[in-house]
Structure 1
Amino acid sequence: MKLGFGLYRHMLDDAHFAFARQCGATHIVVHMCDYFRGNDQTTRADQPVGDGSGWGIAEGRVWAVDELVAIRDAMAHHDLIFYAVENFDPALWSDILFGGPRRDAQMEGVKQLIRNVGAAGIQVFGYNFSLAGVAGRVTSNGARGGAPSVGLDGLNTVTQSPVPASMAWNMVVDPAAEGVRATVPAEALWANLQWFLDRILPVAEEAGVRMAAHPDDPPLPMVRQQPRLVYQPHLYQRLLDLGSSRANALEFCVGTVAEMAEGDVYETVARHARQGTIAYVHLRNVRGRVPHYHETFIDEGDIDVPRVIELLREAEFDGVVIPDHAPQMSCGAPWHAGMAFAMGYLNALIRPGIATPPSRVVETRP
């Protein structure tokens, strides 16, 4: 098991690489589709957008091999491995998601991107086959000591309003489009995913890349009048059953699974770890389930994190674990402090030779 760190594209510099290595990371997961919206570290893609307008205009870029290799080599100077790319640019595959008329042409760009990722020696591509993306979350001071963190406080205007025709996922893909997206039937969304996997898995196998699917966050059956794919734990298996290939894998988000209305997060971790279908793990802690939950510091929520790590160890999981979100702390570098706390906690749990602390008793929630 390896400790990793997630960075957005605007963070791909020596200062952030050094910070990740100082925190104990050996591997990096990069959000190449950058949702950065401000001039400081406090405005990030894991924070909600109050008006639901999205995180900017998508570029639709197919990253070239030499660009990815340059990033890989810059990380290597800090003894870091470029392990995974996370998230397609919505403009690159909006018609694939919605079943639109340009999906065949878009598929060629997606295939080329996966070939380029493999040629650069990157092992995993994480994705979220989601029409509405992350929407409706709010910030509260719900973590220990009043630290700000994100969560869901019931269904709000953003979660229930329709997706504008100009948008896919969380970004604008066609600024000129007017009106709203028609609701896609749930089975049509699954059919779109099958179409995608049928075409991308052979390319990924040849490129040596695992396609790793993230569950829906927030895990509700409908968000912004569009259906969701993986909003219950058993739906992860339905996704895997669509393509019998090692390239068809999971970006396993422990926090999102714990937020789901049904299911047991530990059983779900154990099942997929034993299957060998987890490419890498997002690990955060939360309190509550949909439609009312909020994220916490990694040691204080409903999830028994040492138990999760032990289940991964028992299954001989050899992939990467990253903290995906962390509450911000009251100091001059709130993001850095929050992430350093989470990294230190995880580093102590997964490092060889350090005993895993006993699992704590967590009250079972109805």
Structure 2
Amino acid sequence: MREDIYILLNEIDNHTEAFESSPIQEEEIKRWKQAVSAKIQAHSAAGSARIEKNFPSGNHTPTEEDSTAVDSARTRKLSWKHYAAAAAVLVFLAGAFCTPIRQRVYAESQKLLYNLAIFLGITGDISSYQTVVEQSFTKNGITVVLHDVIWDDDTLLVSYTAFLGDDADPALNEDNFDIHPQIRMNGEVLSRGSGGSVHHSMGKPSFNSRYTFDIPSATSLSGAQKMELVFYMDNPEASSSSFPIRLGSLEFTVSPDALRADTKNVALNVPATLPDGTLITFQSYAGNPISQKVKYVTEGRAHYLNYTIILKGKDNLGNMVELYTTHYEYDDNGNGKGEMVNDSYIDTYTIATEASSITLTPYAANNSVLYSDTGYMSEEDIFYPIGDSFTIFLR
């Protein structure tokens, strides 16, 4: 992380115990939210490090009895995927960039810091797409608070915070405390894969998380649907093959209709070819104030696909757009399909609401180079173009 982030944190006064209670106005909350999100984006774009844990995606369908019910957390090496995420700044921004915050106001600002708009770096008003939950449970000294949920067609996004209480297992600490949510509907596991990030408050017992579930089987649904998040935790004193501990669950009702109505869908049919001859076709684009996505297919050799594919470019207003693959699967014939999303630290809201076109170029990197330990290499050194630029018209 860049030195200026540490300087910023050192300058922040986050001692709130001396603040008095004071009523809070809705307009003030809105201004704080916009200011905090803007600051996060500014610092995110300024560096090249990221404080977060990334959870792997997978096609395994977990059950409570299955020891592989939830994939273990691991840190991914793809430094190109995101820009500097000063996770610690999330905890302190309310005190740093607002007028002195009193105790009651401070509590409200903490909720704002943990919602999906902040995690996604969106400065616009996305309240019509959010389902605010703010429900919690406590078990064995661990409290989990589910903040909000957004249903984005084949994706469900959630934000939650886990707290380690004084009466929690003393074996738990910052390094081994991992909570894994599972999404269900009507008692059935809904997601075929999931991934997320954990922003840990330095020296604090709280872990702020954003999680994304792939729910393609739910794209045909509309209207309000009742879902359940079940939270599991790895046993810190057991082997990696042991059963996860079920902490508890929270239910909520969410609808995809509002965001689906504001989604722009464009057919593409744009070809590209990898160095090994694998043909890629970018089939379609879907964009809304929450995300921009591109779906693609590969023909043959999908079993041996050894490349990471991205799309890079700008919209007509000069906003950067960079899409990376979030999940990829293939059939027995070697034909694959994948979905790419715009980088979460690029303001998707501005692109969706103001831009009239996006121009993208496909790039690829050999995974043997991308995951090698040969030292630092820039994105330009690793990724090279595999096809012509193409333009997507949004209006």
Per the normalisation by structure 2, the TM-score is 0.25
Which structure's CA Rg is the greater one? 2
Structure with higher strand content: 2
